[in-house]
Amino acid sequence: MLRIDNCFNRLLWSGFNSIRSSKTPVVTASHPSIICFIQNHQIHHHHHCHTRTLSSTTTTTTTVGKNSIRDKLDLTFSDTEQAYRSKTTFELIRAIAILYVSSFDTLVFNHDMLLKWSRRLMGERLFHYLMRSTFYGQFVAGKDQDDMKPVLDHLRSFGVKSILDYSAEEDIEKKFDKISDKQKGKEKAVKQYEYDDVVHGRREYRPVARTYFYMNEAQCEKNMDIFLRCIDVVAGATYGTGFAAIKLTALGRPELLLQLSEVIARTRKYFQQITGQNSMGLGNITPEEFQKQLDQRFNLNVDNTEIATFLKRMDYDQRGLMNLFAWNGLIDMDTLINDLFKVPNLRTGRLEMIINALNQEEEEMFRNMMRRTHTIARAATENDVRVLIDAEQTYFQPAINRISLELMRKYNKEKPIIFNTYQCYLKNAYETCELDAELSRRQGFYFGAKLVRGAYLEQERLRAKQLGYDDPINPTFEATTAMYEKNLDFFMNKIIDTGIDKKKFAIMVASHNEDTVRYTLKKMQELNIKPEHKLICFGQLYGMSDHLSFILGQSGYSVYKYVPYGPIDKVMPYLSRRALENHGILKKAKHERKLLMKELFRRIWRGKLFHKPIGNYQPI
């Protein structure tokens, strides 16, 4: 602890020196006076005060409407007065301390043990107070709707909207999914979709995104109810501008998503084997051409009743085939899985399941998963709340993509309600975006996409190495950045091609990277996509990258904070991931800490230590 305190002292004085070097008048202040300020301010601190006065600023502002203002955009994201106008000085110091503590290997990798001992020594009440004043207060908005409403209102008053996520989790350090007897020891031709130890213990590999484990169907019903309550909270607390985030692995047995992903992989292979083309939706193979190939290359009797029925069920339009199966039958729950995924055997001509048939219990579980998904999508549509379907591991993702697209086809008929998430650290990210966008055009639904870098890098690489398939992750950070920008270009050009006024495409740029945000802003300007078109929005996690979120929001851009909520004891796994994430991106965390220090010392020099923020901004 002495080492940490000494390092923190050096960090404080480095801030003084940086202010001196900028030729700002110096006012002497000592480390103990700052500590006294923290202690005094903590007594009165509960998220954000309601009685505040607007601080003076050198940032150029303009009046928008009768009671709203807007700042000039700072593309350097270095104007700390503008970036942290929404924060009290206590919140600045708390953020600095948390980012600083997160840089120590020993503390981060042993934080679970340290927290357990702290709870035992301090007792529940004092421990909860400590957490509210530190990590919980930094990264979580509150325990419930009433507790977090002042936080959401405060964000909104500074031009920032909210994505709500009930982040309560069970402490399941050693609990894993229940594996069916059918999956144990099962060998598959498509190695990526094998149920192995990595899939079985997904949380052991330190992902920075939440991992759900299947306990039973009752738990899935509980998860559905939580998502539904979250939609109600979004509808009531965000004035119709918010999102709710969901994960499909929370709504059913993940093993079923694994099997559905295998169906998709095998279907692509089957199509390629017959036609010689890699992509169905991007090609122009007609049902007649497909039938001709079956007839001439494989000598199958296409007049056979079974084959004729199969050909009739295929999903196609005037351009050609889009899917071998009528996926709307799956999502509408009017077709049994065992009846849906059948293809002609290329030797016998008889229809066979493309994978091993599901048993009756698995059929029921799959229908339950689809029912829960529908219930959430219907509730979101009725409440005019948008839903972000989170991306997950690559062995689940083909199934999640397909279900998301079918939900879009059903519910995005008038505007984007369902948004799918695309992970740009994947080598096939562009191909996936291109195919999904083309299907949305041909099937006539509105398209919602959230672009992220990715959250399961360590686990994905380990699993690919263990099972002997190609690493699905881009080789370098720069390659992922290039992929992100390529997908951004693609979707933004789609907005132009389909017409800005038609609003057929809506994109969320979920990134904490300044260069990515600047790149997006530059492209928006080049293509004349304005913030008021509400087609491009930005997203960052609550408690992180505030210099991006608030500068964008206060400058009139559509920006969201991903806001977790839940009781302290239930959100500890979420807080654990934030500590690991901050530790994993030390360069970025160091830059953010430097900006926070700069603003802290600016306030000290200018006598604004007790700054009380109030917002007068209207979100776009």
Query: Domain for residue 573, yes or no?
Result: yes
Query: Domain for residue 594, yes or no?
Result: yes
Distance in angstroms (rounded) separating the CA atoms of residues 566 and 176 = 23
Distance in angstroms (rounded) separating the CA atoms of residues 145 and 230 = 9
Looking at the DSSP bridge assignments, the partners of residue 559 are 538
Query: Domain for residue 521, yes or no?
Result: no
Burial class (CB in 10 A: 0-12, 13-18, 19+), 333: middle
Query: Domain for residue 222, yes or no?
Result: no
Q: Identify the pLDDT of residue 584.
A: 66
Q: Identify the pLDDT of residue 75.
A: 94
| Residue 311 to residues 271, 274, 290, 326, 459, Cα–Cα distance (Å) | 13, 14, 9, 11, 40
Distance in angstroms (rounded) separating the CA atoms of residues 54 and 108 = 37
Query: Domain for residue 429, yes or no?
Result: no
CB 560 within 8 A of CB 163: yes
Q: Identify the pLDDT of residue 309.
A: 78
Distance in angstroms (rounded) separating the CA atoms of residues 297 and 291 = 10
Tally of CB atoms within 10 A around 110: 12
Looking at the DSSP bridge assignments, the partners of residue 63 are 69
Looking at the DSSP bridge assignments, the partners of residue 508 are 450, 537
Burial class (CB in 10 A: 0-12, 13-18, 19+), 371: middle
Query: Domain for residue 256, yes or no?
Result: no
Average pLDDT by stretches of 10, the chain with 620 residues: 46 47 39 37 40 42 69 94 96 94 81 84 90 92 90 95 82 46 50 59 50 75 92 83 88 88 86 82 79 83 78 74 71 68 82 78 88 94 94 91 94 96 96 94 94 90 89 95 98 97 96 96 97 96 95 97 90 79 69 95 95 91
DSSP state of 419: E
Q: Identify the pLDDT of residue 195.
A: 59
Q: Which domain holds residue 23?
A: 1-169+539-620
DSSP state of 317: -
Give the CA count within 13 Å in the CB-facing half-sphere of 596. 26
3-state helix, strand, coil in the chain (%, to 5): 55, 10, 35
Q: Identify the pLDDT of residue 488.
A: 98
Query: Domain for residue 547, yes or no?
Result: yes
Number of domains forming the structure of the chain? 1
Residue 454: which region, alpha, beta or left (left: phi > 0; alpha: psi -120 to 50)? left
| Residue 369 to residues 141, 214, 224, Cα–Cα distance (Å) | 30, 12, 10
Query: Domain for residue 475, yes or no?
Result: no
Q: Identify the pLDDT of residue 107.
A: 79
Q: Is 166 helix (H, G, I), strand (E, B) or coil?
A: strand
Distance in angstroms (rounded) separating the CA atoms of residues 448 and 388 = 9
**In which residue are the tokens 């994947």 written?**
426
Sequence-distant (6+) residues with CB within 8 A of 387 are 231, 243, 244, 245, 246, 376, 377, 380, 417, 418, 419
Q: Identify the pLDDT of residue 185.
A: 46
